[in-house]
Amino acid sequence: MSPATVEPKPSAKGDELILTETDGNVGILRINRPKVLNALNPELMTMLATQMEAFDTDPKIHVILLAGSERAWAAGADIGDMAERSTFEMYQRDQFATWDRIARIKKPIVAAVSGYALGGGCELMMMCDIVVAADNAQIGQPEINLGVMPGAGGTQRLTRAIGKALAMDVILSGRTLSAKEALDAGLVSRVVPKEHWYSAALKLAQELAKKAPLALQLAKEAVLKAHELNLSQGILHERKLFYMLFATEDQKEGMRAFAEKRKAVFKGR
Ligand code: CAA
């Protein structure tokens, strides 16, 4: 059953780079530079990382929803901001270091992706945990057409996500993948009709927000380790996290509720 269409709330002020709101236990962030298709400049990325960290430490927030607009999730890093910079300037300001702060967020991040997810937009999408893509999504790493290459993790995360053959094709040719191709390749996990691009992702975030928050966070941590550790290290890490959850009230509640044939009520402790 498709979710009812819920439009994101309009911006109260027109000039905020990131729009922030909460919906129950979901913290919602929306990228808001419509005139440049949500191009990601350093100021915006610093705000995004700061807002995410605020949600990450707020016990009322269990899940983060990150959305762009219907036309564009994000069309890349801001080309105008980089075009005339020297190697030294790029190295010294190291703009992509800020992005690492988003990779360290512990709570699950659901991405609501509609329209363009290109370059840095694709890289930001890959830093999220579950991607809900609208059927109009166009996803790719077109940096090659600018005489450069992905610089915010694209060559690494895309290759891990979809394998060398397709990653090499996408990165060297600069072509975009449709939502269907991205789904088939395992780059996104759900594709929805474009009119539900936001409501479907919000519904998913709300569903996740009802799960035990610590289990969500540790499960996210374990899955991400699969990219970094070898199999036996990853399994050992997973096992320790699994045992750790037995220190939580939510584990007792979840397993008792199952035995008592009722719905578990998790408290986040
Ligand atoms: N940076 C800055 N401005 C951008 C932008 C970007 N990444 N993408 C789009 N814009 C701006 C355009 O310059 C344009 O501004 P003006 O109205 O002032 O001319 C506005 O957004 C609308 O864009 P278009 O008129 O081009 O819209 P379109 O519908 O004809 O095309 C598009 C859409 C195919 C996405 C096209 O805008 C495009 O190709 N954008 C660039 C995509 C790209 O190369 N991204 C990679 C950036 S580099 C990077 O991300 C490095 C990294 O690894 C982090």
Query: Can you give the pLDDT at residue 1?
Result: 41
Count Cβ neighbours within 10 Å for each residue of 33-43 and write b for 16 or more, e otherwise: beebbbbbbbe
77 is catalytic: yes
- Binding site membership of 45 for ligand 1 (Cβ less than 6 Å): no
- Mean per-residue pLDDT, 85-103: 96
Residue tagged active-site, from 112, 121, 143, 205: 143
123 is catalytic: yes
Ligand 1 centroid–CA 176 distance in Å is 14
Q: How far apart are CA 104 and CA 2, in angstroms?
A: 32
Ligand 1 centroid–CA 144 distance in Å is 14
- pLDDT tens digits for range 101-144: 999 999 999 999 999 999 999 999 999 999 999 999 999 999 99
Structure tokens that stand for 203 in this block: 């519904």
- pLDDT tens digits for range 199-253: 999 999 999 999 999 999 999 999 999 999 999 999 999 999 999 999 999 999 9
Question: Average pLDDT of the chain?
Answer: 95
Whether the Cβ atoms of residue 136 and residue 194 lie closer than 8 Å to each other: yes
With the most atoms of ligand 1 within 8 angstroms of its CB, the residue from 32, 35, 36, 122 to mutate is 36
Among residues 62, 68, 59, 57, the alpha carbon closest in space to that of 30 is found at 68
Query: Can you give the pLDDT at residue 8?
Result: 74
Structure tokens that stand for 121 in this block: 């937009």
With the most atoms of ligand 1 within 8 angstroms of its CB, the residue from 79, 100, 157 to mutate is 79
Query: Can you give the pLDDT at residue 241?
Result: 98
Model confidence at 10: pLDDT above 80: no
- Mean per-residue pLDDT, 31-56: 97
Query: Which of 83 and 8 is assigned the larger pLDDT?
Result: 83
- pLDDT tens digits for range 145-161: 999 999 999 999 999 99
- Binding site membership of 120 for ligand 1 (Cβ less than 6 Å): yes
Percent of the chain, pLDDT > 90? 94
Residue 184 CB neighbour total at 10 angstroms: 14
Query: Can you give the pLDDT at residue 97?
Result: 96
143 is catalytic: yes
Residue tagged active-site, from 120, 121, 140, 153: 120
- Binding site membership of 264 for ligand 1 (Cβ less than 6 Å): no
- Binding site membership of 150 for ligand 1 (Cβ less than 6 Å): yes
Among residues 109, 215, 223, the alpha carbon closest in space to that of 160 is found at 223
The neighbouring-strand residues paired with 40 are 77
Question: Which atom from ligand 1 is nearest to the alpha carbon of 79?
Answer: 1
Model confidence at 11: pLDDT above 70: no
- The reported pTM is 0.96
Residue 6: pLDDT band by 50, 70, 90 thresholds?
confident
53 is catalytic: no
